[in-house]
Structure formats: C-alpha cells, structure tokens
Amino acid sequence: MRSTLALVLAVTAVAATTPLDAQRGAQPPRRPALAAADTNDARAYLEFGAQNLASRPNEAADAFYWAYQLDPASADALYGRYAAFLVSSPVRLVNYWNGDRRTLRSREVLAADSLYFRALTMDPFLYRRYEMHVLRAYLHQAVRNADGLASERDIQRRIDAFMVHSGPWLRAIEAYAQGRFVQALTFYNEALARARSKSLVRAERGRLFAHVGNHQSALEEFGHALREMRREDERELVFLYESKALMEHGIAVLHERMGDRAAAREAYGRALTEDLGFYPAHVRLGLLALAEGDTATAVAELDLAAQAAGADPSVHYTYGAMLARLGRLDEAAAQLVRAAELAPFYADPWFALGVVRDGKANVDAAREAYARFLNGAARTHRRRAVAEQRLRDLGAEPPADGR
C-alpha cells in the first residue's frame, strides 16, 4: 500500500508545502453542517469526516480541512484529508498506487503527500485508521477497470474473495486497520520473508510494536529498517522510500517515551543530518532543553524551527508560548500573532496573547484577545473558565453563549 511506502519527490521538503499554504489564494471549502455539534470543536469535524469518508469523500475532506483549521496540531485531520483525497477519485488512486509518473508528479498529489508527511512528523506512530477504506476503493476501481459490466454486488464479492486469499502483506494491512495489532504483526512477519524491500515491512512492524507498547522491539525494528533503507539506496533497488529523517524522528520519540533523553537528542540530531529542513526535530530538541532548564538552547532550537517551519502555525504557537513562559513577552506576542494570522480559526494563540498582554498591563488588548479566544474555542476547552473569569476581572463580560 503506497501510503506505507514513500512520499514521492517531497520527503525532504516538509516545510516546502504546508497544508495551509496549499490553500492560500484558493476559496476555502464550505464547512459541513454539523447537527447539534459544537462547530468550534475540531473533534466534531473529525467524527463527521470518519462517518462520511467512504460514501461522501469530498465532504469528508472538507470536514478534515476544518478540523485542521481549528486545531493545526491534529495529525488525524491531515491524515484524514489525505485519505479522503485518495478515495475521492478512484481512477487517480489506481494510477497513484500503480506508480504513474504523471499522477505522482501532479501538483494536487504532491500537496496531498505533504499532508500525510506532515501528519507523520506530528505523530510518527499515527494510527492510519482509514487504510482499508482506501484499499477497498483501489480494489473497487481495479475490478471496474478489468470488467466494466460487473455489478456492484459482484464487485464487492470479488473484493471480499480477493482479501480472503490475499498474501500476508494485505492481510496485515486489514488486521492493522481493524485494530488487531498482534495478528498484524504475525502477518508482517510472514511478509518479511517474501519482501523485496524489507525496510518497509520493518518500519510497519516497528510502528505496530509501538502501538502495543513494546518500545524496545519498536526501536530494534526501526534500526533494522534504517539499515535496510541505506542498503536499498546503495543498490538502487527502490525509488520509493520512507524518509530516513522521519525514521530517526520516530526513534527519538521512542527514546523519549522510554525516558532516555540523551539518546533522543542524538536521534533528533541524526534526523537533521539526514534533512537540514526537518524542523520537527528542532521543536523537540528545544522542548527537551527547556525541560532540563537550558533556556538558551531551547530558544535557539525553537527559533530555528520557526524559521524553517514557515507557515506552520503550531510551531509559532509553541515558540510563542515558550517565550511567554520565559517572560520574553514582546517576542512571544510576535510569534503568537503570527500563529493567529496563519490559522485564523485556531483559538489557542488568542488565549496565550491574552496572558501576554495581561502581563504587559495592556488591558484593552488583553480583553480583545480573551474575547477572541472565547469566540473561537470549543465549549469544552479547558481554558474557557479561566478566560471568562479574567475578562470579568478586567471589567468586561464574556461574549454571549461564549461566542
């Protein structure tokens, strides 16, 4: 399955095409109607997208788009939009997975690949819950291409029969998508013996071990995957490959989970050696330094991340929040304003701006920031009560109905 393979032509350019950049200059999609739901809650749009991916993929893509606008740190939103994009055009999907060069190099496909890549930088162990939706859409179109007269019932029967008799790779994908991780590991073990490109199977096994909490085995599999990647590159056996920077990033995250910060720092450093533009490593290095009280390194790393990230609002927000915590309020305000400009529907920067402007005794600006936060935040946001109380303390009433 190609989503588990490579991100063609764009793997080393994570900052080159960000999800928000891809929409700039284009009319944003209309928000799907959410019956009795909080339209400021990204989770409501994620749920709508999941419910409609198979039957109404274009509407699902719109829902995932809005989930990301409300929460630019949501890997699920980016992955969901990528999956909906694939399902929305089965003909394009078949060409995509079959390696058609024109399709792979098209602007829309490169933009979709960048969504998926960015999602993996947010969460190297992202659960790709829509894997089977995409696979079945591919198989449906493949059957249709082979037999244009086949009925819908016959197509579904053929797909079901194909999956029953498929090899361990596809059966592993099916088990993974259904949450049967232990069984998926067994199938991937069988697939490993047959695979020409073993790095792909090793990487998937590593992710599965991470899903079941076996971090040591995940580390070992990722190490094997990296060695296989380098050997495959040298022998020129493959042209579709997972980013080694992304693999090192995953290793670093595993070390963090296991409490080994020194090993995590080394792995993040190796990720940057593989790709100097891989700014998520700078973010994590900065936050690790902050946790250890090394504020100079923390600021330096987050500053590098913000420069490399360009239009990624979550990085500017993280940097701004850290600067505010360190008392560097003017610099913090600049980063938080940038985050709000890049993601106008993202509420969190406005709360942080309220705190910063409060700290500067700028009452009017603080009121405005808290009010804008309340207008954009979900009803269940954990900072709503604090913002409402602070507005009252500053002599203003919270917006009616919190909006």
Over residues 173-192, mean pLDDT: 94
**Which pLDDT score, from 0 to 100, does residue 35 have?**
80
Q: Which two tokens stand for residue 331?
A: 């610099």
Least confident of 14-23, 103-112, 173-182, 295-304: 14-23
How far lies 140's CA from each of 57, 84, 147, 154, 340, in Å? 15, 15, 11, 10, 42
Confidence of residue 3 (pLDDT cuts 50, 70, 90): very low
* Residue 172 pLDDT exceeds 50: yes
Over residues 356-368, mean pLDDT: 96
Q: Each residue of 310-352: pLDDT tens digit?
A: 899 999 999 999 999 999 999 999 999 999 999 999 999 999 9
**Which pLDDT score, from 0 to 100, does residue 282 have?**
98
299 vs 302: CA distance, rounded Å: 5
Main-chain phi, psi angles of 214, to 5 degrees: -95, 80
* Percent of the residues in the chain that have a pLDDT greater than 90, as a whole number: 78
Confidence of residue 67 (pLDDT cuts 50, 70, 90): very high
Over residues 254-275, mean pLDDT: 97
Q: Each residue of 88-134: pLDDT tens digit?
A: 999 999 999 998 999 989 999 999 999 999 999 999 999 999 999 99
Largest CA distance in the chain: 72
Over residues 187-205, mean pLDDT: 91
Structural domain boundaries of the chain? 1-165, 347-403
Angle between helical axes of 152-164 and 131-146 (0-180°, round to 10): 120
**Which pLDDT score, from 0 to 100, does residue 18 have?**
43
Place of tokens 């929409």: 23
How far lies 142's CA from each of 91, 137, 166, 173, 271, in Å? 9, 9, 15, 18, 38
On average, the pLDDT of the chain sits at: 90
Q: Reduced to 3 states, what is the DSSP secondary structure of residue 223?
A: helix
* Residue 361 pLDDT exceeds 80: yes
**Which pLDDT score, from 0 to 100, does residue 21 have?**
42
**Which pLDDT score, from 0 to 100, does residue 307 have?**
96
Confidence of residue 402 (pLDDT cuts 50, 70, 90): low
Main-chain phi, psi angles of 237, to 5 degrees: -80, -25
* Percent of the residues in the chain that have a pLDDT greater than 70, as a whole number: 90
Q: Each residue of 121-158: pLDDT tens digit?
A: 999 999 999 999 999 999 999 999 998 888 999 999 99
Cβ-proximal residues to 147 (8 Å cutoff; 6+ apart), any chain: none
**Which pLDDT score, from 0 to 100, does residue 230 have?**
85
* Residue 236 pLDDT exceeds 50: no
**Which pLDDT score, from 0 to 100, does residue 23 have?**
44
* Residue 22 pLDDT exceeds 70: no
